[in-house]
Amino acid sequence: MLTPGQQAPDFKLFNTNKKEVSLQDFRGKNLIILFFPMAFTSVCTAELCEMRDNISTYADLNAEVVGISVDSPFTLAKFKEDQKLPFDLLSDFNKEVSQAYDTYYETFALNLKGVSKRSAFVIDGDGVIQYAEVLDNAGDVPSFQAIQKTLAKR
Q: Of all helices (H) and strands (E), which one includes residue 104?
A: strand 104-107
- Starting at the edge strand found earlier in the chain, the sheet holding 63-69 runs 20-22, 12-14, 88-91, 63-69, 30-35, 119-123, 129-134
Q: Which residues are annotated as catalytic?
A: 44
Backbone phi, psi, residue 44, to 5°: -65, -40
